Amino acid sequence: MLKEFKDFALKGNFVDMAVGIVIGAAFSTIVKSFVDDIIMPVVGMATGGVDFANLFAVIKNPVEGATYNTIAAAQEAGAVTINYGVFINAIITFLIVAFVLFMVIKGMNNAKRMMEEEAAAAPPPGPTEEVKLLTEIRDSLQK
């Protein structure tokens, strides 16, 4: 059983998948920063200074009539909140990651198709010198 696990763990596909997961996690961090630090401030300015990271709705307030400027302040006071601004940021992050993956896969498919077309267009290799010599010998023997 240990040998089977070792064979499985050391297969190329398993290692490739592990590398892909690590790179994907790092890429996700970069995209999250891109959305939170670059995209959303621009969107916020376009919508009149709205900070999407702090858009929330209080559904249960421990202090009647209290208002909170940030999610952190509301949660510190014990309010139950729906953080829809964070959800909007997550949706935008997902869309960017999905688009980038779509472009990568599309590029890989195009490259694969081009390689297949080149392989199909290449003329088959002619017979080797050994095959030519053997053919001559066969033809000579038949005469």
Task: Give residue limits of the domains in the chain.
Answer: 2-50+83-142
Q: How far apart are CA 9 and CA 108, in angstroms?
A: 26
- Average pLDDT of span 93-109: 86
Q: Do residues 89 and 53 make contact, with C-beta atoms less than 8 angstroms apart?
A: yes
| Per-residue model confidence as pLDDT tens digits over 60-94 | 988 888 889 889 999 999 999 999 998 988 888 88
Burial bucket for residue 35 (CB in 10 Å: 0-12, 13-18, 19+): buried
Which residue has better confidence, 136 or 50? 136
Nearest to 86 by CA among 70, 100, 99: 70
Considering the segment(s) 2-50+83-142 as one domain, its CATH architecture is Orthogonal Bundle (1.10)
pLDDT at position 124 is: 73
Q: What is the pTM of this model?
A: 0.60
pLDDT at 27 over 80: yes
Q: How far apart are CA 76 and CA 135, in angstroms?
A: 89
